[in-house]
Amino acid sequence: MIETLDSYTEAAYDGQTIRIIVAGQPPSWTSGPIDICDAEFYIPITGDRLSSTPATVTERTTELRGVYKAWKGAADPAEAAATLSVVDVQEFGGLPSEPSVDVDLSDTAVIERAQYGPASDVFRRLWTGSSAGYASQTEADVAFCSQLAYWTGGDGEQIERLVRQSDRNRAEWVSLVSEDTLYDERTIEQALELVDDYHDPQSEPGRL
């Protein structure tokens, strides 16, 4: 796993725990053979870096997602934690990160335009976690991600960030739905398949 994440790695104060620090969005907090937590969780830094690892913290969102899926989906999580390799993680893939078109709006700008543009009433309901008018939460999630796909140019990573800022974010959002797929990945992929028209950031707030 140290090789897989390839970022600043140090020994914890207990002398038995290895701590790998990366930049990026963790799929979820976990506890067990592998603990995954974000910046909200206080961890004292020892400075006792493993000499074979980088001296800097590196962006590793995709790799972190792979570690999470490979571990959570294993029959023996403890064994998986000890044997995860770069190949294991790469096989799990991740979110589609290349936008379909170059919209290049910040998260704040996307939210502002979506809240006041066409279909804004629907966007606001979905943003606050409501599934009213849809047969299920899953259908509402896909609809919400479809709206976000329009405003972001189909940028999967930005859609993921925005969902996490909304009230649709919940434990199920990062649950495994198959051996190698998380719920958020499947939902975003379904939404991207539905959208082929994207917002023009040079215009007034567009349409969905």
The pLDDT assigned to 28 comes to 62
- Its pTM stands at 0.60
**Residue 41: left if φ>0, alpha if ψ -120 to 50, beta else—which one?**
beta
Q: Please determine, for residue 26, whether its predicted confidence score (pLDDT) is greater than 90.
A: no
For residue range 123-152, list pLDDT tens digits in order.
Answer: 999 999 999 999 999 999 999 999 999 999
The pLDDT assigned to 16 comes to 72
State the residue for tokens 């804004």.
120
pLDDT level of residue 43 (50, 70, 90 thresholds): confident
Taking the C-alpha atoms of residue 131 and residue 75, their distance in angstroms, rounded to an integer, is 34
> Exposed/middle/buried for 47, CB within 10 Å: 0-12, 13-18, 19+?
exposed
> Exposed/middle/buried for 70, CB within 10 Å: 0-12, 13-18, 19+?
buried
Contact present, 16 and 6 (Cβ < 8 Å): no
For residue range 70-102, list pLDDT tens digits in order.
Answer: 666 555 545 544 444 443 334 444 566 566 677
Distances (CA, A) of 68 to 145, 153, 207: 23, 27, 37
Q: Please determine, for residue 108, whether its predicted confidence score (pLDDT) is greater than 50.
A: yes
